[in-house]
Amino acid sequence: MSASNEAAVLAAEVKGKMINIVGEGNFDDSKTGRLVYSYDATPNFQSLPAAVVSPRNTREAAEIVRICNEHKVPIVPRGSGTNLCAGTCPTEGGIVLLFRHMNKIIDIDEENLTATVQPGVITLDLINAVEAKGLFYPPDPSSMKISTIGGNLNENSGGLRGLKYGVTRDYVMGLEAVLANGDIIRTGGKLAKDVAGYDFTRLFVGSEGTLAIITEATLKLIPIPETKKTMLALYQDIESAAKSVSKIIANKIIPATLEFLDQPTLEVVEAHAKIGLPTDVQAVLLIEQDGTPEMVNRDIERMSAICKEENAVSVQIAESDAQAEALSSARRTALSALARLKPTTILEDATVPRSEIANMVRAINNIATKYHVKICTFGHAGDGNLHPTCPTDSRDKEEMERVEKAFEEIFVKAVELGGTITGEHGVGVMKAPYLELKLGKEGIAAMKAVKTALDPNNIMNPGKIFAKDSRKRVVITR
């Protein structure tokens, strides 16, 4: 952890130019102002930027980028800083670019079923605004109350509804973006079909601020499902839970949500929230289906039958909203329960093909035992996207080393099973050393070629995605 970046102060000339563009109030290089943008939600990363700049519109953003390019000043675009890969930690100094003024919903187009928004819009605000019009924007990361669309786009965030509805990427139709040289380009549009040239929209989604600054996005909306129903199934062994998942899908039912909690997670949840769940069960599945009432009822009944066939020890179906709340409370409180155990919480997102879930969970539990660390696993079973979570204490160096080793082994195992090192949290600095595991040397070289072509001076969120040298460590301690 490098705490200070005194070398990276802005030249007076650069500072003056920036203030000319955004105004005094939107340029901050005070110690306090810089400190509060020196971190994100990733444990153990902190590094001060030289200044924090808040453009009010695309033109100002573009002018700031142009100056940065001219003077080779790194730019760290930042939404709400909730990412878990150190993606907004200014490890190389430079400026943090905020979108706190660019937070308007520009329009909700009910004819084309699109929403056009600025990057600073809070995800939940957008969801609420479109739902008020009977429309639906499905990507719902657990952080949606505070995450921004800009952040969601750049991490290609997923959510609980991912299995049926896909992730952020599946709802992006067009973008307005500022390139590293300050050019403003538009990609896609309110178009269902568009094959005019390379698909830059897809390239920028998930690019973690390393290719362009997104200043506007046109998102796809769908009609809102009529109803929703929730059920909960408990199992004595992980295999049965995993088999239920596969069988549900093999039966051509795609539930809206298919979440999983393992026994260590359950134990922690029960200790914290006292929901009344048995803690000796080995796995829990939380299942939701939405759609027309007939379809929802039919699917829930069939899924309930499948769970029982696969030896669920208990299957409960919620008859009211209040009951649904109660059933989903274990899943909802999982993070709170885990976060309260120890000062440091490491939340990972190794992902495997759906069919490998049982193998992966078992491997995680064995690895945890091997390294004497506590790892609780919950996550999106339908997507094979697991969240092995480790409550620990970053001050305990010896334990942190074991935690790092355990996670490294988890990543290796995930890739071995045909999975990936990150399903939705992104690479950032945190997982850069492991990218090669997934992509191989050639894959990284190809990506770097794209990066260099679009950002020859390496000013766009430098140090993210590509590691200086691979396979260092997961958690960087002081």
Ligand X SMILES: Cc1cc2nc3c(=O)[nH]c(=O)nc-3n(C[C@H](O)[C@H](O)[C@H](O)COP(=O)(O)OP(=O)(O)OC[C@H]3O[C@@H](n4cnc5c(N)ncnc54)[C@H](O)[C@@H]3O)c2cc1C
Give the interface with ligand X as residue ranges (CB under 6 A).
40-41, 76-84, 87-88, 99, 119, 141-143, 147-148, 150-152, 154-155, 157-159, 208-209, 213-214, 335, 424-425, 461
Kindly state the smallest distance separating residue 333's Cβ from another protein, in Å: 9
Assigned token pair, 185 = 């380009």
Kindly state the smallest distance separating residue 339's Cβ from another protein, in Å: 4
CA angle 165, 293, 223 (to 5 degrees): 40
Distance CA 204, CA 188 (A): 12
Instruction: Give the pairing of strands 114-117 and 135-136.
Output: unpaired
Three-state DSSP state, 277: coil
By the 10 Å C-beta count (0-12 exposed, 13-18 middle, 19+ buried), 292 is classed as exposed
3 binds, among another protein, ligand X, none (CB under 5 to 8 A by kind): another protein
Distance CA 268, CA 372 (A): 17
Kindly state the smallest distance separating residue 88's Cβ from another protein, in Å: 11
**For the sheet containing 75-78, what is the strand order?**
27-28, 51-53, 95-98, 75-78
The type of residue at 377 is T
What is residue 169's DSSP assignment? G
**Binding site residues, another protein, CB under 8 A:** 3-4, 30-33, 35-43, 46, 48, 80-82, 100-101, 103, 122, 143, 145-146, 335-336, 339-340, 343-345, 393-395
Pick the closer one to ligand X by CB: 283 or 460.
460
Assigned token pair, 353 = 């093909």
214 binds, among ligand X, another protein, none (CB under 5 to 8 A by kind): ligand X
151 binds, among ligand X, another protein, none (CB under 5 to 8 A by kind): ligand X
38 binds, among another protein, ligand X, none (CB under 5 to 8 A by kind): another protein
174 binds, among another protein, ligand X, none (CB under 5 to 8 A by kind): none
Pick the closer one to ligand X by CB: 79 or 255.
79
Distance CA 472, CA 404 (A): 10
Pick the closer one to ligand X by CB: 89 or 315.
89
213 binds, among ligand X, another protein, none (CB under 5 to 8 A by kind): ligand X
Assigned token pair, 364 = 């995680």
Do residues 348 and 389 make contact, with C-beta atoms less than 8 angstroms apart?
yes
Pick the closer one to ligand X by CB: 77 or 419.
77
Pick the closer one to ligand X by CB: 83 or 344.
83
